Structure formats: structure tokens, C-alpha cells
């Protein structure tokens, strides 16, 4: 580790610039082939299309990646496809049951990106509608933002998940552009609760927290997409790391920085020398389930966190992010322009039937992290 910490900064920047160029060269071919799609995963090198499942939570990531690349390289074709996806997401805004807590993933990466790049009043309006819906999901009794709707039974009325930490930046953004503090206040209420109920003493993270929706009483946690209750689902770790780092950026609350550091230190203590990230840090060593998306998100979170960490921690966070990204680029990226996906060996959940397949948000976060390293990023959070 000490030898790697001495890596020449120019060499690192050159690697990032070269890798960003490789991403661009691939994606300008892939984008033309998939200009009418909203992808989630690929089979045999071909992106699927979630346009017919327009409410799906990942439907902003392809547009987000294209906005990142448009900002970095100026290719107008990326902008056109991203704007088309944004238009399609209007159907979600008109569907009450289609809305959920993932409004940040959908509209930060589409409408907020568009507004930041073009000043579009229409995009600003869309993002504010989404932010208002997200704010309206706050349960004031329990101090949490409800994750998902249900069939009216109320079965999920008391459910919150760690992923929502990454949706809170939509509220911070809305508060900034409207000069209305209630948006940030709602984000902080949820983040305070999340820090209390999701983060364990050792820095590992629960996926689902359950509350009594009427009284607000905290009832306990569920294993969710991890291996089991009490285990350490790696993508949940990544959401917490990046999410609390971002809430610190936006709010300045020292408690969020302390939480992010606690989670980061747990993650680093669990990473093997090969820097391959499993689905769950608690899974058996013989289990070959991987999640490259978690690796990419962890890298983004560490690059964010290093800006606020003191002393040697900042260097360790940076170096860990670099090692994760080099591993992904060398061992888990498909650089062929004939195949649509970039990142491979991703997994959605430990108990799913399928593992080690492409997922679009892996491509997004890998692209974001690389562009962060070469100062070509567009900050969307």
C-alpha cells in the first residue's frame, strides 16, 4: 500500500484521461445502436429495453452516463438521447403508483443534468415536481422517507432503505434553486434517522429498516438484498458511504462525515487484495457472486469522502478508489464496441437466481469515477 501511495499523480491523471477516452470511444458506438432504449442489463452483449417498464428505478442511469460524456467530450448525439429519455420519464411523473423514493436516481441524472447543462426551464420544473413528491414521502412520526408503495394494504408504509441516501441530493438541489429550506430539512430528518437505524457499531449497514407507520416506532431491520439480516451487503455499504458523504457536503453536519468515515473504514477492512467486491462481505469465500457496481460506487464515495477526511485517511481512501478502478478497468470491463455493456460481473441481490451480469448503473458510476479523476466530471449529486 505504501508503495502505491507514492504513485506519480501525473501517471494517475494520464491513466484516467486514457480510460475516459476509451469509455467515450466505446459509448459513441453503443449509443447509436441503442438510441431508442432505456437499458438495465445486457444479454449476449445486447442491452435490453425498459422503456415499457418506464417506472423502473434505474431508468435514469443511461441518460446520466450520456450527460457525463456530453459534458466531457461535447458529443451532441449523447445529449439528444439523454433528452429523449427525459421526455419518456414524464409518464412516471403522471403515475402516482409509479413514483417511489428513487426520484433522485431518475431525475438528478436526467432533468437536473439537463438544467445544469442547458438551463432548461422545463427540466427544472420536472425535477422540482419529482423533488416535491419525494419530500411528500416523509413519515414525520418516524422521521423517514418511505421507500416503496404497495397495493394499498399498507404493508410497506413503514419501510425505508439505505439506498435513499443517494436520493436525498434531489432535495438539497431543490432547496438551493428555490431558496426553500424545507427540502433540506426533510433530507436531514431522513439522514439523521438513517444514521441511527441503518449503521451498525462496526460500520456495516442494514438494507431495510421497518417502522410502525402510525407511531413511528422503529421495529427492526431486514436482510433485503444482502445475504441475511446482520450481514454486510456491499451495494448497501456503497450507498451509505457515498450518500452520507454527499449529505455532509450539502449540510455540513459533522455527524454525517463521521458516519461516512465509519462505513468507509469497515469497507476497506473487508476488501481483499484482489479488489474484487463480492455481493456481501459476509458470504463464504467459496461463493463467486460479485458486484462490480458496488466496486464502482465505493470508488465514487471514497473520492468524494477523501476531500473531507483528515491526514492519512484521505490518502488511503484515494488509493483504495484507484485500486478498485484499475481492477475494474483491467478485469471487469468489456471494451469491445461490439458489445453494449461496459462493466461486467454485477449482481442485484444475493438471493437472486442470476449473478455476475451487466447492470447499467455500474457503467454510470465507473464513468463518473474516472471522469472525477481527470477533472472532467459533471457533478449531479
Active-site residue set: 102, 163
Which residue do the cell numbers 456530453 mark? Answer: 70
End-to-end CA distance of the chain: 30
101-114 as b/e: b if 16+ CB within 10 A: bbbbbbbbbbbbbb
Q: How many CB atoms are closer than 10 A to CB 217?
A: 12
3-state helix, strand, coil in the chain (%, to 5): 55, 10, 35
- Burial, 292: exposed, middle or buried (Cβ in 10 Å; 0-12, 13-18, 19+)? buried
Three-state secondary structure string covering 115-127: HHHHCCHHHHHHH
**Of 279, 180, 156, which Cα lies nearest the Cα of 227?**
279
Amino acid at each position: 500500500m505504501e508503495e502505491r501511495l507514492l504513485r506519480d499523480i501525473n501517471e494517475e491523471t494520464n491513466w484516467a484521461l486514457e480510460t475516459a477516452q476509451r469509455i467515450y470511444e466505446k459509448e459513441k458506438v453503443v449509443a447509436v445502436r441503442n438510441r431508442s432504449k432505456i437499458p438495465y442489463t445486457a444479454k449476449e452483449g445486447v442491452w435490453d429495453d425498459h422503456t415499457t417498464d418506464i417506472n423502473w428505478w434505474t431508468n435514469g442511469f443511461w441518460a446520466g452516463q450520456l450527460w457525463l460524456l456530453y459534458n466531457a467530450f461535447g458529443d451532441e448525439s449523447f445529449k439528444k438521447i439523454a433528452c429523449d429519455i427525459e421526455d419518456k420519464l414524464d409518464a412516471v411523473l403522471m403515475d402516482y403508483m409509479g413514483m417511489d423514493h428513487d426520484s433522485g436516481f431518475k431525475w438528478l441524472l436526467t432533468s437536473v443534468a439537463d438544467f445544469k447543462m442547458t438551463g432548461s426551464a422545463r427540466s427544472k420544473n420536472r425535477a422540482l415536481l419529482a423533488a416535491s413528491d419525494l419530500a411528500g414521502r416523509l413519515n414525520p412520526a418516524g422521521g423517514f422517507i418511505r421507500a416503496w408503495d404497495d397495493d394499498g394494504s399498507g404493508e410497506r408504509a413503514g419501510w425505508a432503505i439505505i439506498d435513499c441516501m443517494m436520493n436525498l441530493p434531489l432535495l438539497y438541489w431543490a432547496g438551493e434553486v428555490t431558496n426553500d429550506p424545507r427540502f433540506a430539512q426533510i433530507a436531514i430528518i431522513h439522514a439523521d434517522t438513517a444514521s441511527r437505524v441503518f449503521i451498525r457499531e462496526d460500520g456495516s449497514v442494514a438494507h431495510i429498516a421497518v417502522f410502525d407507520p402510525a407511531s413511528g416506532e422503529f421495529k427492526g431491520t431486514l436482510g433485503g438484498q444482502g445475504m441475511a439480516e446482520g450481514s454486510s451487503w456491499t451495494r448497501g455499504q456503497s450507498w451509505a458511504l457515498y450518500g452520507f458523504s454527499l449529505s455532509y457536503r450539502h449540510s455540513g453536519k459533522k455527524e454525517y462525515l463521521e458516519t461516512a468515515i465509519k462505513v468507509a473504514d469497515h469497507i476497506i477492512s473487508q476488501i481483499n487484495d484482489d479488489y474484487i467486491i463480492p455481493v456481501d462481505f459476509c458470504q463464504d469465500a467459496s461463493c463467486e457472486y460479485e458486484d462490480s457496481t458496488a466496486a464502482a460506487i465505493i470508488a465514487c464515495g471514497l473520492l468524494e469522502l477523501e476531500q473531507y477526511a483528515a491526514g492519512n485517511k484521505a490518502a488511503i481512501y484515494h488509493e483504495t478508489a484507484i485500486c478498485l478502478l484499475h481492477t475494474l478497468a483491467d478485469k471487469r470491463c468489456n471494451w469491445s464496441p461490439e458489445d453494449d455493456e461496459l462493466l461486467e460481473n454485477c449482481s442485484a441481490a444475493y438471493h437472486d437466481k442470476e449473478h455476475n451480469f451487466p447492470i447499467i448503473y455500474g457503467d454510470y458510476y465507473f464513468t463518473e469515477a474516472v471522469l472525477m479523476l481527470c477533472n472532467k466530471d459533471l457533478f449531479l449529486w
